[in-house]
């Protein structure tokens, strides 16, 4: 039974570390705290943390176990910096080349930004543009890649039916 809690604690800590920056030396303590919280939750023996008892304090204790002082400071810094505009990884003028676009969040070179933003930064194009005050027509696809895709579509005859239908209406 305890090995199940160890596995669950490891999964929780893994997910937490994936989304938060924490020094490596604090990971074992975090794992112990999460495991301890899971064991206490299982046995319903959570100490009240803010004057409340029972199930209400369970969530608070589990959250408190995850919030070590260094982690709390990091979380607070994240909350405070979201209101301020972040500094781009590269200058906006340099972020578009002939065969690449550069992510202003992390500086990665991509052919298209949409997938990268979704996978790596969990954001969509609108929030990306708002974050850096970019115009709605700011390129998020490299010009060469866009031209290649356009030519492939033309060669495949895409849009021909639409063009013929529009001619019939006139």
105 and 163 fall within a common domain: yes
48 and 91 fall within a common domain: no
The total number of residues shown for the chain amounts to 170
Please report, for the domain that includes residue 167, its CATH number: 1.10.10.1550
> 3-state DSSP helix/strand/coil percent for the chain, to nearest 5?
60, 5, 35
3 state DSSP class of 17:
helix
93 and 139 fall within a common domain: yes
Q: Domains in the chain: how many in total?
A: 2
Residue whose structure tokens are 């800590």 = 13
* Helices (H), ranges, 44-159: 55-66, 69-81, 114-121, 125-131, 143-155
108 and 70 fall within a common domain: no
20 and 60 fall within a common domain: yes
Instruction: For the chain, report the end-to-end CA distance as a whole number of angstroms.
Output: 75
114 and 70 fall within a common domain: no
Q: Among candidates 102, 113, 103, 104, which has minimal Cα distance to 86? A: 104
30 and 18 fall within a common domain: yes
Of 51, 81, 111, the position where a domain reaches its end is 81
170 vs 166: CA distance, rounded Å = 7
Predicted model pTM: 0.48
- pLDDT values of the chain reduced to their tens digit, one per residue, 170 residues: 477 888 888 889 888 888 788 888 888 998 899 888 888 888 876 555 554 444 444 444 444 444 544 444 444 444 444 456 788 899 999 999 999 999 999 999 999 999 999 999 999 999 999 999 999 999 999 999 999 999 999 999 988 888 888 888 87
94 and 169 fall within a common domain: yes
Range of the structural domain that residue 63 is part of: 2-81
Work out the burial of residue 142: count CB atoms within 10 Å of its CB; fewer than 13 is exposed, 13-18 middle, 19 or more buried.
buried
């Amino acid at each position: 039974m305890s090995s199940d809690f160890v596995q669950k604690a490891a999964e929780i800590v893994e997910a937490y570390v994936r989304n938060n920056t924490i020094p490596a030396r604090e990971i074992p303590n975090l794992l112990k705290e999460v495991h301890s919280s899971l064991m206490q939750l299982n046995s319903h023996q959570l100490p009240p943390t803010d004057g409340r008892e029972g199930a209400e304090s369970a969530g608070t204790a589990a959250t408190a176990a995850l919030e070590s002082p260094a982690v709390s400071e990091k979380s607070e810094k994240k909350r405070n910096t979201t209101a301020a505009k972040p500094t781009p990884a590269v200058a906006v003028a340099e972020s578009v080349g002939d065969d690449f676009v550069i992510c202003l969040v992390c500086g990665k070179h991509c052919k298209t930004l949409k997938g990268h933003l979704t996978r790596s930064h969990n954001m969509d194009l609108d929030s990306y543009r708002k974050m850096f005050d970019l115009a709605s027509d700011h390129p998020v696809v490299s010009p060469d890649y866009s031209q290649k895709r356009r030519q492939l579509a033309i060669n495949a005859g895409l849009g021909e039916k639409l063009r013929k239908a529009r001619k019939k209406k006139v």
